[in-house]
Amino acid sequence: MKKVYLDSAATTKMHSEVIDKMTEVMTTIYGNPSSSHSFGRASKTIVETARKNIAKELNVTAGEIFFTSGGTEADNLVLLNAVRDLGVKRIITSKIEHHAVLHTLDYLVKNDNIDVSYVGLNSDGTVKFDDLEEILHQSDVKTLVSLMHVNNEIGTILDLKRTAEICKKYKALFHSDTVQSIGHYKLDLQDIPVDFVVSSAHKFHGPKGVGFVFIRKHSGVNPLIHGGEQERGLRAGTEAVHNIVGLEIAFTLAYKNLDSDRNAITALKHYFCTELLKAIPEISFNADSSNLDHTAYTILNVRFPFKAHKTQMLLFQLDLKGIACSRGSACQSGSQKGSHVLAEILKEDEYLKPSLRFSFSKYNTKEDVDYVIETLQAFGAN
């Protein structure tokens, strides 16, 4: 049976060069980076070289990059510390953020009496900047704005620089979950005055269980994890050297091949949209996700005109045919709840129809797309 993987927003296939380098490090460079002997120094060199290379690409200093277990930990570190250490009393966000942000804010509301405000959204999921300014203008209490760069379900892209400049105007801190964009978009963090961004290696063909957080210097953030001086005292625990080198290789390859990969994936997304409309003309693209100028080239969210009784069977039938895609983010796939993102932007009758997220990578082909469309067309006809 043919296998087609169109769920790269959930996680990506690891690059072969990443696997080879990680294997080499696990085999030959196994010292603790905190040890002073040659084995430890060799491991420490790998960790610090990775930090410097990542910092150089983002145009920041190595001292502003801290390795974590991934995006969720990094989001938690920023949000919890903003309240605990930076005196933040109010957080502005949107209702379509990743649950790593929304659930952390629920915790802060319950335990720290933090005021959370939700910025208005347009029908395509983009932020209403006038509303953001109005909310910021309402109070001069210490505020943090947390808005994701690329939405993981619908691909909506936030204008990071404009948002950062608005926050700066009102003396608010700005945190952006950039898990879906780092490795796919160039970010010059000297040009964009954002205070915190986060990353997860498995979103750009690296290993799971490792990522990083950028924390602008002199922020005053303190550790959440105690017990050691690793990561300059911000995150205790022996560094996973093999994962960090895997992150570095994946990150380097992502930016080395960025233009060619983006062009290929963009062309494939365009082909998918065109052919899908030919096969099933009644489909709709949620949040205008087929618009290649305003949404991520890696993500497409499609609403199908199938009858209600078929909704629950659609994903199952695709899986039986060897096709991997998603109803929403992988983090909620085990839940019976629908997408909180689509619930926010769709009308009730639209929300009740089946929607699927297809997310692409450089490993996908036109043959993959053709097979998926044929399968969907046959499902609708039955």
Is residue 358 located within the same domain as residue 314?
Answer: yes
Q: Which of 235, 256, 277 is the last residue of a domain?
A: 256
Is residue 270 located within the same domain as residue 252?
Answer: no
Is residue 166 located within the same domain as residue 296?
Answer: no
Is residue 8 located within the same domain as residue 76?
Answer: no
Q: Which of 256, 281, 300 is the last residue of a domain?
A: 256
Is residue 318 located within the same domain as residue 359?
Answer: yes
* Length reported for the chain: 382
Is residue 208 located within the same domain as residue 312?
Answer: no
Positive or negative: CA dihedral 377, 380, 381, 382: positive
Mean pLDDT of the chain: 95
Whether this prediction's pTM lies above 0.85 is answered by: yes
Is residue 285 located within the same domain as residue 154?
Answer: no
225 in Cβ contact with 236 (< 8 Å)? yes
- Domains held by the chain: number: 2
Give pLDDT tens digits for 185-197. 999 999 999 999 9
CATH classification at residue 121: 3.40.640.10
Is residue 144 located within the same domain as residue 235?
Answer: yes
Is residue 221 located within the same domain as residue 342?
Answer: no
Q: Which of 256, 287, 312 is the last residue of a domain?
A: 256
Give pLDDT tens digits for 163-173. 999 999 999 99
CATH classification at residue 305: 3.90.1150.10
Residue 332 has pLDDT above 50, yes or no: no
Is residue 226 located within the same domain as residue 333?
Answer: no
Residue 119 has pLDDT above 70, yes or no: yes
Is residue 136 located within the same domain as residue 214?
Answer: yes
Give pLDDT tens digits for 252-306. 999 999 999 999 999 999 999 999 999 999 999 999 999 999 999 999 999 999 8
287 in Cβ contact with 124 (< 8 Å)? yes
Is residue 156 located within the same domain as residue 274?
Answer: no
* Enzyme catalytic residues: 331
What counts of helices (H) and strands (E) characterise the chain?
Answer: 12, 12
Domain that holds residue 64: 16-256
* Coarse DSSP helix, strand, coil percentages of the chain, rounded to the nearest 5 percent: 45, 15, 40
